[in-house]
Structure 1
Amino acid sequence: MQSHAAIGEALERLHQSDREAHAAELAHHFAEAGAVGSPEKVIEYSLIAGEYALDSFEYEQALVHFTRVLDTKGEISMDGEKAQALFGLGRAEATVVPVYELKTVHQNLGLAFDYYDSVGDTARAVAVASEIPSPPGGDHNHVSQRRIQRALELVHDDSLEAGILHSVLGDFQGVANGDYPSAQDSFVRALTIARRKGNVNLEIKTLNHSARIDWHPLQFDDSLKKSLTATNLAVAAFDPRGEVTARHHAFMCSHHLGDSMEMHRQASAILEPAVRLRDRFWLATAHYCISFSLSLQGDWRLAREENQLGLDVLPLDPRLLVERAILEAQAGDRQQAEDHLERLAEVALGFRFESGANSPNALLALSLPLANNILGKTRQIDVRNDFAAAVISSNTTNPYYLSIAKVGASLLALESESEAVASHYAALKPLAGLMYWFVSVDRCLGRLAGNLGDQDAATAHFQDASDFCRKSGYRPKLAWTSHDHAKSLLMRNVPGDREKAAALHSEALLIATELEMPPLLDRLADFQDEMDSEPAKSPAYPDGLTQREAEVLRLISGGKTDREIGEELFISIKTVGNHVSSILNKTKTSNRTEAASYATQRGLVTPSPEGEG
């Protein structure tokens, strides 16, 4: 111990002019000196070393130094040194702990803020409030938001500090409160200040916050534009945090919109700034983006390797776990798929704050029924319903989480043959044309419509899903969609459907064989047996009318209006109109009265007694 004290004192004299660079070494020796050392010097040099580590992106080392200060201070009441250590610890933790453990970060920063505010140290109070990270969920969101609003009261309205605080506040207003108009108002204020003062870092930070908020109410086009602008600014400013954040937002928006070229461009560029930043969350995010991009193309081997690199950084990252589970399911490894789903369930069960609307719950709501759809029943059968219900019943104002949960609930309804299929179909219609992780909403709508007996609508949705997947290069999803489309055509069985079904089956078989997708290959073999054993059947209705058109025609004969038909069949007025036009064309009739007469003559309806006289 005495030798450590002596070494510390000697180094202190040697490095008087450059103590900051050697603070970690000095703190170590004075700490090891124990009782013969100086607690004051342990605290002094640990604080200096912690700040130096933060500036050097050495976040793990910063944790060590700031924790040492708090251990040395012990249970004494809050003072400036303890507040400084909590501020540093919070900033370091924000870069190394998973998003679902940010509650501790908010608590540590909150204690530091309250101290500085209570002693009138406005500059440090504002600095702490400016570093509060994005809200993860729970009551501490509201407490942190109140602290940010309190900090705004301490600064001038047009100051740079006010701009930074408005940017942070907007993030809370959007994510925690779902108050998107107020959030955008805060961002406008922040951007105005940033551009007036020429502060590019604030502009990048605010654009990224605003892009994130656009993402939650499903405004993906707007989010993508802001993310691309932020990316260009961050690259020019050599801002790795701003760049990796913007690229992640651009990646996800491009995925949802089906812009594979932009998605792959962002995935190929995101790792370099993440490595420079050395933030564990963003490093895991970069590996996730690359892995997910590869999975969507069906490159299971490379996707698995990249995914594992991400899990090595953050073993319980919900995004990586769900991506790995579905990847393994597609490749036919049931054991690995179930293992990763169970790890995701553990995260979700530990992440349930007052609201069930959070990322792990939403992802489980989607991934569990999707895995069951690919593999058949998985061992999570008894728990999967909890997660969609937790999100949907939470009264969340976050449309992004809610829409993911709705897609998952729809898959679950199909699996259990729920009577609520019609309501799920109506709930998903506004999301048509989007992709949520591995699920095409159009394909989901097609399966729901088929379950309702409307094979015309089903084939139209499957065609939309196929077009989306072809444009985006999502080959595994295209193969599954082609399989579903073929089944729907075989069930509809209008002239030409059987030939189209055979062509789609061949396309799906080619992709599934090339990409090695055993679960889909099994389904395709069953479908081939079905086609071989079932001879071509004559259409069930005259003149090529489909089952849905026959249903519409019966309702027309009953005097129903388009609106009434739509309400009865759970389809839009526009869809009804399309069916009516097709009916008139196929039956060679000119109006609804002639069509009703046609229906009676062909035995599609039974004439009422009143109509016979």
Structure 2
Amino acid sequence: MSVSFATMDGMAVDHAAPLVGRDEELAQLKAAIGLSGDAGSGAVLLGGDAGIGKTRLVTELVDQARDAGRQILVGHCLDLGDSALPFAPFAEAFSSLDDADRERITAEAPALGPMISAAPAGGDRADILSAVARGLDALAETGPILLVVEDAHWAEASTRHALQFVLARRFVNDVAVVVTYRTDDLHRRHPLRTAVAEWSRLPGVRRVELAPLDDVSVAALLRSREESRLTQAGVSAIVRRAGGNAFYAEELLDAGLADGALPESLADLVLVRLDRLDDDARQVVAAVASGGGRASDDILAEVVGLEPARFDAAVRDALDHKVLVLRDGGLAFRHALLAEAVREDLLPGQRIRQHAAFLAALTRPGAEGAAREIAHHAEGAGDLATAFTASIDAAVEAVCIGGYDEAAGHYQRALTMLEAAPEGTDVVALLLSTAEALTGAGRLRTAAKLLRAQLDQSGLSELDRGRLLVALGDVTFFSDDDDGALEVSAEALAVVPDERTELRARAEALRARTFSSVRRWDEALEHAERALAIAEELDAVEIALDAQGTSTYVLSRTGLEVDKAHRLYLDLIESTRASGDVHSELRALQHLAFVHFNAGNLPEAEQYFREGMARAEATGRSWAPYGFDGRFFAAVTSYVRGRWDDVLALQKVDDGVPKLVRNTLDSVALLVAAGRGQEPAKGEVARLRGEWAHDLALAVHSGTAMIELQGNAGDAVAATEVHDALADLLARTWHSTLSPARLRMTSLLLSAHAATAGQRSAAENQATVEWATALVAEVDHVLIEWPTLGPEGHAWHQRMHAELGRLRWLTGVDPLPVAELERLWRTALESFDQLGDPYEHARSATRLAAVLSAAGRDAEAEELLAGARQVAQEIGAKPLLAEISSGAAPERSADLTRREREVLELVSVGRTNGEIAAQLFISTKTASVHVSNILAKLGASSRTEAAAIANRRGLL
């Protein structure tokens, strides 16, 4: 029993694993034992299910307590039944002391002697209880103590009495106690159940129950354990199965089983609890497992077939042993893995009979079985015809309440049972419904794959081919694949007869949308008008709203005043809400938000983006086209407005979201990381770059963040590689020579090259400036291709020219006059100020301040730096703060002699010492001395850097 717990080695805990999701509980424990404030006695009863993380939390508490100077004593209760040693955890704890401390406390409390030596305890129990308390008090004379008693659910009577005595004791010295126990073991007749209730009422005792970890915390735990082979889908699967239990999650991870059968060791561990149940209770539990892990009381009684008294007794037994719990008016497993283990333990014949019994109960006259339950049990019982029909009914029900993920699952199951479908079933209609549900769930790639697979089938009629092509065109359009959408929409128009039908109207509306996305405005309006004419004639409201939405979008992007566009979109939103067309409503909200974003009205833009996000969440379309866009562009707008914590809040989504959704949100969060100078998580940059081809918005935002990250690191070469790769992608996929994103990309790249000017030779800087000048001339054409470019684009265009001027200034290559450089930076500063972008305003102010300092206008420079510093501190922009600090004390002109200034002029144009000597009629040695003096006075390490510094300070 004598084990050293100096480092809590006796606890089965991975010390390298981070503590996740338990900040609040740790704070409660620290407060209770006096660790977070003044030292003082206190006690905590820490309960939670097996594997929930009690020991890991206590280990963290012990580490912090030890760091704070507390002595640590730890004892465990063991599952030895009647063979358990009385007072075992106290004997273990005292035995871990060194010889001097043991002698000291046994001198104070002699009754502890036999306990510490693991001999049978003698004497009166009251004497031993008193000795335990006196021993702890004596030990605490030399410093505060933390006593931890683990697994009190296994405590025998003597230990429970000792705990009662210690918890009720008023110690003279500082003694804190933490007792852990498993709540899932405390059935109604468990002796600790009453004890815990009594102890909780004692003064100074706090009871803390650990709830399951939330999904985000479980995912973080898994990623801390496995960074390479675990996919996002694997994380999501384990999170779903583990149910917030850290131990279960780690067992599933270590077994490599995100899906599939439970690891045998874990299944055995879970099933041990069932051994305590009687036969009737096992029968009830098996039926609940067959029912999908949850069942209503009346249906379950009918399935089990026990007479009422026996059924009630069986249910009570399962509840008492914490196998089942009451939930939502029925019975459910306490943990999902219990249901899995029980279900997998059933024999095949048992499963079929159980499903058949459930099916009979759910479909008898008068029963109101849910379609999803009927489908589940019909499939399990082998009744595929009933399962097919019920799966479709379940999908329709799910769509009605916004459950697009669930609907997609029901439709996909129905597709696997087509052989049992009723005669005359419209398979194409079923496919279209499946694709629509997948689209509503944000699973666009899966929807496109499903539709393309059907189009590859032979024997399709022209009508069915047209229906599939229109649906595929919609999915492709929503995937931001402009080329693909143009191709599919053209094929759809060629296949669908030019008649006054809804299908033709849909094809025309699709074609209008695809043309609008590539700015072919006249053709977009032409097809929108055709779609609208047919839709109005057929009273097809949804199609009419689609066409109206395209027309309004075209007008808003071709010079319509903001106020008029705003009113048009408000009218359109009202119409879509009146008709119940949520998809068109979300589209109109997004386009209205962009009207304001493109006009530079960022608060209004964010308002409508967030309204779209909220509406999408309320209707179950959070990840659907336009639904997710509300969240994404709200994050983008928050970033521009300098509300970076809001960006990170919007980034946090459940693990079950589509992969592209998470990646796109992560791309905006990467911008925040770059601005704050934070190192991205391992593999994050490579992961996002691998997704560039799937989404241009993801590519643009993560790519610009990567350019800035490389600039922060002082690696202009790496920044150039990222820029060129992103520019190449945009050139290949954007329907114009240049994307507006090039303005920002170029500005950030030039900034990286300007910051590293001192690292290059004069010749290298000459080549860099020539390359940069040509690049800016190319990107200037963005303004020609995008005549309706908004304030943000114009601000970055002005910033690009200011960065080019800065590069020329710092390299000394064809530098602009100080007045012109000031004008460029002041224009950029004012543009970002009007836009409402505090970060870029502060960066522009910092660089303008450097120009003013060089001109000797120190007071103006310091005023600009003070404002920039405040912004940088508020948003946590560490790289900007470093740049501000470097310019906080404006550089003064060096005290150069007239001859040194003449030498410096020649150094700046690349003359050698010999050439300087010849031109100034001095010796080469004297020229060398002058150059050395100049370098020392300027604080430069090279002739190139000296020239750059001299140019920046206006010494030339």
Q: How far apart, CA to CA, are the structure 2 residues paired with 1:181 and 1:392?
A: 24
After TM superposition, list the pairs within 5 Å mapping 1:402-481 onto structure 2.
402-405=739-742, 407-416=744-753, 417=768, 419-429=770-780, 434=790, 440-452=796-808, 453-454=815-816, 458-481=821-844
Deviations 1:444-483 (A, max 9, x none): 2321244353455554443333333323332122111211
After TM superposition, list the pairs within 5 Å mapping 1:215-254 onto structure 2.
227-254=569-596
- The equivalent of 2:607 in structure 1 is 265
Q: How far apart, CA to CA, are the structure 1 residues paired with 2:557 and 2:657?
A: 26
- The equivalent of 1:205 in structure 2 is 546
Q: How far apart, CA to CA, are the structure 2 residues paired with 1:486 and 1:75?
A: 76
- The equivalent of 2:708 in structure 1 is 370
SS at match of 1:397: coil
After TM superposition, list the pairs within 5 Å mapping 1:31-430 onto structure 2.
31-33=379-381, 37-73=382-418, 80=425, 82-97=427-442, 103-104=448-449, 106-107=451-452, 110=455, 117-118=461-462, 128=471, 132=475, 134=477, 136=479, 137=481, 140-141=484-485, 144-150=488-494, 152-153=496-497, 155-156=499-500, 159=501, 161-175=503-517, 179-193=520-534, 201-210=542-551, 227-279=569-621, 280-281=623-624, 282-309=626-653, 313-317=657-661, 318-336=663-681, 340-348=684-692, 351=694, 358-374=696-712, 376-377=714-715, 384-385=722-723, 387-394=725-732, 396-398=734-736, 402-405=739-742, 407-416=744-753, 417=768, 419-429=770-780
SS at match of 1:24: helix
SS at match of 2:373: helix
- The equivalent of 2:141 in structure 1 is none
The letter for the 1-side match of 2:379 is A
Deviations 1:306-341 (A, max 9, x none): 2223887445435422210111222332235x7643
Q: How far apart, CA to CA, are the structure 1 residues paired with 2:569 and 2:868?
A: 35
Structure 1 window deviating more from structure 2 (455-464 vs 373-382): it is 373-382
Deviations 1:214-233 (A, max 9, x none): 79999996976764543343
Deviations 1:224-258 (A, max 9, x none): 67645433433454543333322223334433431
SS at match of 1:153: coil
SS at match of 2:461: helix
- The equivalent of 2:871 in structure 1 is 511
The letter for the 1-side match of 2:643 is D
Q: How far apart, CA to CA, are the structure 2 residues paired with 1:79 and 1:271?
A: 40
Q: How far apart, CA to CA, are the structure 2 residues paired with 1:115 and 1:367?
A: 50
Q: How far apart, CA to CA, are the structure 2 residues paired with 1:412 and 1:218?
A: 32
Q: Is the 8 A contact 2:773 2:804 kept in 1?
A: yes
Q: How far apart, CA to CA, are the structure 1 residues paired with 2:510 and 2:394?
A: 27
Identity of aligned residues (%): 15
Aligned Cα RMSD in Å?
A: 4.3
SS at match of 1:14: coil
Structure with max Cα Rg: 2
Structure with the larger helix share: 1
The letter for the 2-side match of 1:344 is L
The letter for the 1-side match of 2:376 is H
Q: How far apart, CA to CA, are the structure 2 residues paired with 1:196 and 1:74?
A: 39
After TM superposition, list the pairs within 5 Å mapping 1:16-27 onto structure 2.
22-27=370-375
- The equivalent of 1:607 in structure 2 is none
Structure 1 window deviating more from structure 2 (520-529 vs 130-139): it is 130-139
Change (3 A) 1:409 1:300: closer
Q: Is the 8 A contact 2:392 2:410 kept in 1?
A: yes
- The equivalent of 1:599 in structure 2 is none
Change (3 A) 1:287 1:360: closer
Deviations 1:152-176 (A, max 9, x none): 42531xx55543332211122343x
Q: How far apart, CA to CA, are the structure 2 residues paired with 1:486 and 1:365?
A: 28
Q: Is the 8 A contact 1:174 1:183 kept in 2?
A: yes
Change (3 A) 1:475 1:196: farther
Q: How far apart, CA to CA, are the structure 1 residues paired with 2:555 and 2:820?
A: 31
Structure 1 window deviating more from structure 2 (94-103 vs 258-267): it is 94-103
The letter for the 2-side match of 1:368 is M
Q: 1:526 aligns with which of 886, 896, 903?
A: 886
Q: How far apart, CA to CA, are the structure 2 residues paired with 1:138 and 1:103?
A: 14
Report the TM-score when normalising by structure 2: 0.47
Report the TM-score when normalising by structure 1: 0.70
Q: How far apart, CA to CA, are the structure 2 residues paired with 1:376 and 1:25?
A: 60
The letter for the 2-side match of 1:308 is K
Q: How far apart, CA to CA, are the structure 2 residues paired with 1:379 and 1:289?
A: 31
Change (3 A) 1:307 1:190: same
Q: Which runs of 5+ in 2 are unaligned?
A: 1-351, 754-767, 784-788, 809-814, 897-956
- The equivalent of 1:567 in structure 2 is none
Q: How far apart, CA to CA, are the structure 2 residues paired with 1:15 and 1:148?
A: 48
Structure 1 window deviating more from structure 2 (510-519 vs 408-417): it is 408-417
Q: How far apart, CA to CA, are the structure 1 residues paired with 2:366 and 2:499?
A: 38
Q: Which runs of 5+ in 1 are unaligned?
A: 353-357, 538-613
Q: How far apart, CA to CA, are the structure 1 residues paired with 2:668 and 2:780?
A: 25
Q: Is the 8 A contact 1:342 1:380 kept in 2?
A: no
Change (3 A) 1:389 1:313: same
SS at match of 1:487: helix
Change (3 A) 1:476 1:200: farther
Q: How far apart, CA to CA, are the structure 1 residues paired with 2:400 and 2:586?
A: 18
Deviations 1:26-56 (A, max 9, x none): 21111111xxx23233222223322332333
Which structure carries more relative contact order (alpha carbon 8 Å, separation 6+)?
1
Q: How many residues align?
A: 514
Q: Is the 8 A contact 1:292 1:323 kept in 2?
A: yes
The letter for the 1-side match of 2:725 is F
Shift of 1:421: 2.0
- The equivalent of 2:376 in structure 1 is 28
